[in-house]
């Protein structure tokens, strides 16, 4: 795509799909409310690693309870699910030392922000500002691959590493019958690849028009899949080591969400000789990956809105710098909710509603808008203009039928099989769940809202308004002169 606002196009071939664009921008902005806090946690852990002794390796600290149990090398106890109400020092460091979750009574018991976390998150936004205020021209780093490889070779020689790899390569196929697995997998893939956020469209706006986007898409998805598979080896090697160390099954060591990154993995690294070095290396890798992803999300917000309202911003000096400051400042203000003592609950709430089902809706509406309303024939012709040939039948069938049907099925499953929202042992109140659904649908609501606004602004009869709204700008003059509305013909909707 070439740079042309939220309803992107080229040389006037612009589809009036700004509603989907606003939806993607809003989702990216929402994600910045909590994703940048995770990067802040990474900085906090990285700084905490630069000490003579890692703070999560033993009990006896101010944040520890009488249930804390540091254990020993030969003790057969699970590091994160200990019997008799015992807890590991790594778990207590994260939950009590960092998040101070024990001081909160629930979702609505905010308290004051923790200044150490505020400072860490603020430093994240400062870094992001200097990376974004002139626009992102390139992004990416080899650093994560180098560190992953170092950790892979280090972990490969640990006892239990082979057991971890065997567990990783022996999936439980029966889990595929669980619809929630498909929902979680779809959201994870969308997060990993960046689908539905508008990030790729934003970065592509800096490309030459004839850039081979077909090749780039294939390379991006293959590299993403390889990276996920490769990093899985590193994770399960250390999980196998932890299972061996505590003489328990791997599935009792493994945990999901933030616990894996900020509890299990730090504890595993802490048991290695030179644990401080490996911890710093690990959190540098996380920081590099986190900043790179955060840049993409916020760049899609900044560039998307500035291109959509180009006339407004072009008339003002230093508009990019000022608007970048505004977007980052408002996002930082919202992150303050997630650095209070209730942050464990609010982070899980944001993670559940900011970009889960709304992200799937964003991708679905974009697929329908491009393949059905804009038209698969015109879209294929645009691709031919860019790379010299049209996409094959397989891709056209995917865009028009397979992808929308799959997304509809996943969304329906997510809505029907919606379990109560929990974080650890805490059950969220009904009003928090209702607020979450409202928050999730607020981004999706941009699509009908913008559609209604464009219909209201269009002139003529109801049919004329609809025709004007769903017709690309380049075709509007032709249909006004001839009276022929391509998108009112059956051939437009049945063509593949």
Cβ–Cβ under 8 Å, residues 102 and 95: yes
What the block records as the tokens of 290 is: 């986190």
Instruction: Of 349, 261, 294, 274, give the one whose Cα is nearest residue 42.
Output: 261
* 358 in a labelled binding site: no
Token pair recorded at residue 64: 């520890």
Other beta carbons within 10 angstroms of residue 215's beta carbon come to 10
Ligand-binding annotation for 442, yes or no, is no
289 is in an annotated binding site: yes
Residue with tokens 């018991």: 109
Residues 369 and 15: beta-carbon distance below 8 Å: yes
For residue 76, the surrounding DSSP H or E stretch is: none
Rg from Cα positions in the chain: 25
- Alpha carbon distance 340, 491 (integer Å): 57
224 is in an annotated binding site: yes
Q: Which of 25, 7, 34 is nearest to 444 (CA)?
A: 25
Q: Report yes or no: 164 and 237 within 8 Å, Cβ to Cβ.
A: yes
Question: Is 178 labelled as part of a ligand binding site?
Answer: no
> Beta partners for 304?
none
**Read out DSSP for 424-447?**
TTEEPPHHHHHHHHHHHHHHHTHH
Q: Which amino acids are annotated as binding site for Na(+), given as ranges?
A: 192, 224, 289, 292-293
Q: Which amino acids are annotated as binding site, given as ranges?
A: 192, 224, 289, 292-293
């Amino acid at each position: 795509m070439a740079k042309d606002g939220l309803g992107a196009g080229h040389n006037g071939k612009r589809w009036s799909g700004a509603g989907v664009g606003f939806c993607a921008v809003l989702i990216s902005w929402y994600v910045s409310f909590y994703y940048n806090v995770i990067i802040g946690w990474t900085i906090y852990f990285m700084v905490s690693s630069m000490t003579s002794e890692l703070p999560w390796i033993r009990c006896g600290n101010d944040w520890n309870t009488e249930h804390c149990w540091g254990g020993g090398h030969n003790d057969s106890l699970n590091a994160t699910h200990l019997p008799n109400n015992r807890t590991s020092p790594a778990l207590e460091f994260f939950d009590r030392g960092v998040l101070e979750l024990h001081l909160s009574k629930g979702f609505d018991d905010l308290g004051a922000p923790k200044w150490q976390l505020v400072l860490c998150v603020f430093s994240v936004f400062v870094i992001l500002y200097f990376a974004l205020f002139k626009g992102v021209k390139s992004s990416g780093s080899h650093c994560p691959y180098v560190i992953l490889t170092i950790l892979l070779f280090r972990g490969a020689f640990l006892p239990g590493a082979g057991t971890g790899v065997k567990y990783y390569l022996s999936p439980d196929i029966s889990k595929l019958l669980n619809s929630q697995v498909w929902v979680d997998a779809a959201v994870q893939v969308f997060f990993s690849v960046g689908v539905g956020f508008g990030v790729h469209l934003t970065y592509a706006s800096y490309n030459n028009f004839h850039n081979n986007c077909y090749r780039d898409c294939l390379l991006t998805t293959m590299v993403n899949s390889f990276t996920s598979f490769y990093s899985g080896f590193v994770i399960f090697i250390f999980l196998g080591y932890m299972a061996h160390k505590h003489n328990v099954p791997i599935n009792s060591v493994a945990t999901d969400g933030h616990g894996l990154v900020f509890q299990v993995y730090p504890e595993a690294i802490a048991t290695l000789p030179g644990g401080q070095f490996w911890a710093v290396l690990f959190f540098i890798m996380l920081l590099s990956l986190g900043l790179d992803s955060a840049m993409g999300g916020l760049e899609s917000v900044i560039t998307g809105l500035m291109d959509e309202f180009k006339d407004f911003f072009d008339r003002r000096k230093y508009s990019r710098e000022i608007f970048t400051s505004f977007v980052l400042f408002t996002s930082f203000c919202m992150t303050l909710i997630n650095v209070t003592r209730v942050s464990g609950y609010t982070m899980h709430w944001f993670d559940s509603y900011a970009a889960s089902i709304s992200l799937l809706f964003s991708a679905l509406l974009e697929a329908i808008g491009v393949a059905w309303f804009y038209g698969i024939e015109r879209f294929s012709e645009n691709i031919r203009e860019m790379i010299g040939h049209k996409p094959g039948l397989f891709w056209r069938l995917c865009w028009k039928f397979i992808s929308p049907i799959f997304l509809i099925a996943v969304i329906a499953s997510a809505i029907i099989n919606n379990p109560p929202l929990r974080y650890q042992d805490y059950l969220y109140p009904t009003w928090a769940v209702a607020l979450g659904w409202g928050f999730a649908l607020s981004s999706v609501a941009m699509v009908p809202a913008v559609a209604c606004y464009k219909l209201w602004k269009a002139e003529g009869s109801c049919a004329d308004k609809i025709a004007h709204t769903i017709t690309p700008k380049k075709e509007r003059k032709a249909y006004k002169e001839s009276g022929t509305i391509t998108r009112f013909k059956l051939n437009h909707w049945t063509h593949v």
